[in-house]
Amino acid sequence: MDLTELTIKQAHEGLKNGEFTSVDLTKAYLEKIKQSDLNAFLSVTEDLALEMAEIADEKIKSGNFGLLCGIPCAIKDSIMVADEKCTAASKILENYSAPYDATVISKLKEAGAVILGKTNTDEFTMGSSTENSAFGVTKNPHDKTRVPGGSSGGSAAAVAGNLACYALGSDTGGSIRQPASLCGVVGLCPTYGAVSRYGLIAHASSLDQIGPIAKNVEDSKTVFEAICGRDNMDATSVDYKFEEEKTGLKGLKIGVPKEYFAEGLEPEVEKIIRNEIQKAEIAGAEIVEISLPSSQYALACYYIIGPAEISANLARFDGIKYGLSEPGNDLLDVYLKSKGHGFGAEVKRRIMIGTYVLSSGYYDAYYKKAQEVRQLIRQDFAAAFEKVDLIFCPVSPFPAFKIGEKADDPISMYLADIYTIPMKLAGLPGISVPVGKIGNLPVGLQIIGNHFQENKILSVAGLVESKE
């Protein structure tokens, strides 16, 4: 038996029945990571992992342990694990160690989880391919010449390549769902506020959300249940307790946005997604064509609001308090050299856009206007959810593309998130479930629900998965 192929539930049963120990499980993953050439991990916390596994084994012996106890996982390298490196895949934080645990990490530690290491990401989570990492691109396990998606590409590749049982990622514009789709795993982006952001290095604070990447829907539900809820350290978090719901397809109203099946969507991807919609209809769901007219402005809106928040959030990395500090003749020189050498091209691009749209004379023309459009996008979704229960649509307009294929064309790269960004601007939850392949390249179906309807999304995603 290859222990690294087990799901959370299967591994839990094995631990419970004494078929193997958490240390055995952890060593199997660590060995596989050592042999891997995917570049999914930026750092492997071997000593910490084995120590956590030993503690978990003691807990397991007592018989009082939960589903995540002793199960090895991977953490995106923008989420802090106390005393371990947290680089956000940037040279500016290359030697930075986290002074405390993110709330989600405290919750996983409490559950007895085993942390294998920190996974690769686009620098400061800015990108859709993990090519913007300062420490090299991650390869897609299904085709090593292709990207795993981004920015949580390392987490998705780790789960798809059986280098971790599950992983945590973060989603600002699509960074959990898009790599999950490209790597053929399940990625859940929770409702904004359902999971604490405390200890996540901020990208765009009104959009960032931590969520699980897992081998199947059941595993993603298990992890989500463990990490969700109110946190006093995050004022945007909500007092939310996940309660499982059995939602059947019979009589369910599924919305299909006409704007999401337009020019730009690859015919093969469209065929796979429409096939899933048809399967749902055969199973008794009512398919309703809906319109989300303001979605056409979502990408432009996102690339004003996101960079504006980036400009503010990344101002702290100035060579004084955090990370890289280059010597200079005066304070301004230190700032310029530290940021100039520490930040990569995409991060600089977004900081400059953000600073521009917030500057005097442009704030009303760009940032204020983008916030007004964001409100229209929210209203579109609110109107849609008066008619339907869930929305089915693509995650990405195309499967995994070749490494380097879009590197010199930022606009083409930004279009990778065209179907994931609108619901982020509305703060809604969504999941990517693998539903087919083009050759050997996976394609995910995106299921979007109303606020705090993760239970409905997960229930229907489980039905979709079981029909594959």
Number of domains making up the chain: 1
Is the separation of the CB atoms in 230 and 215 below 8 Å? no
Query: Which residue carries 């006093």 as its tokens?
Result: 232
369 is catalytic: no
pTM value > 0.95: yes
Q: What is the pLDDT of residues 82-104, one digit of tens each?
A: 999 999 999 999 999 999 999 99
| Interval 202-236: pLDDT, tens | 999 999 999 999 999 999 999 999 999 999 999 99
CA angle in degrees (0–180, nearest 5) for 131-136-141: 75
Task: Give mean pLDDT, residues 110-133.
Answer: 98
Query: Do the Cβ atoms of 237 and 192 come closer than 8 Å?
Result: no
Asked if 412 is an active-site residue, the reply is no
Catalytic residue among 78, 151, 220, 459: 151
Q: Spot the catalytic one: 22, 27, 32, 76.
A: 76
SS3 200: strand
The contacts of residue 110 (CB under 8 Å, 6+ apart) are: none
Catalytic residue among 106, 129, 133, 175: 175
Sign of CA dihedral 158, 221, 421, 392: positive
Task: Provide the 3-class DSSP secondary structure of residue 195.
Answer: strand
Q: Is 175 a catalytic residue?
A: yes
Q: How far apart are CA 199 and CA 233, in angstroms?
A: 9
Measured distance CA(180)–CA(355) in Å, rounded: 32
Closest CA to 190 of 205, 206, 170, 160: 170
Interatomic CA distance for residues 302 and 403, integer angstroms: 25
Q: What is the per-residue pLDDT for 467?
A: 77
Mean local confidence (pLDDT), 120-136: 97
Spatial contact of 133 and 346, defined as CB atoms under 8 Å apart: no
Give the separation between CA 423 and CA 176, rounded to whole angstroms.
Answer: 13
How far is Cα 381 from Cα 66, in angstroms, rounded to an integer? 37
Instruction: Decide if 103 contacts 196 (C-beta within 8 A).
Output: yes
The full length of the chain comes to: 468
Can you tell me the distance from the alpha carbon of 171 to that of 203, in angstroms, rounded to the nearest whole number? 10
Question: What pLDDT band is residue 54 in, cutting at 50, 70 and 90?
Answer: very high
Is 39:139 a contact under the CB 8 Å cutoff? yes
Q: 330-384: per-residue pLDDT in tens?
A: 999 999 999 999 999 999 999 999 999 999 899 999 999 999 999 999 999 999 9
In degrees rounded to 5, what are phi and psi of residue 19? -70, -30
Which CATH number fits the domain that encloses residue 183? 3.90.1300.10
Using one digit for the tens of pLDDT, what is the confidence trace for 285-318?
999 999 999 999 999 999 999 999 999 999 999 9
What pLDDT sits at residue 468?
Answer: 66
Residues 393, 9: Cα–Cα separation, whole Å: 29
Which CA distances in Å does 454 have to 188, 245, 333?
9, 9, 48
Contact 353, 303 (CB under 8 A): yes
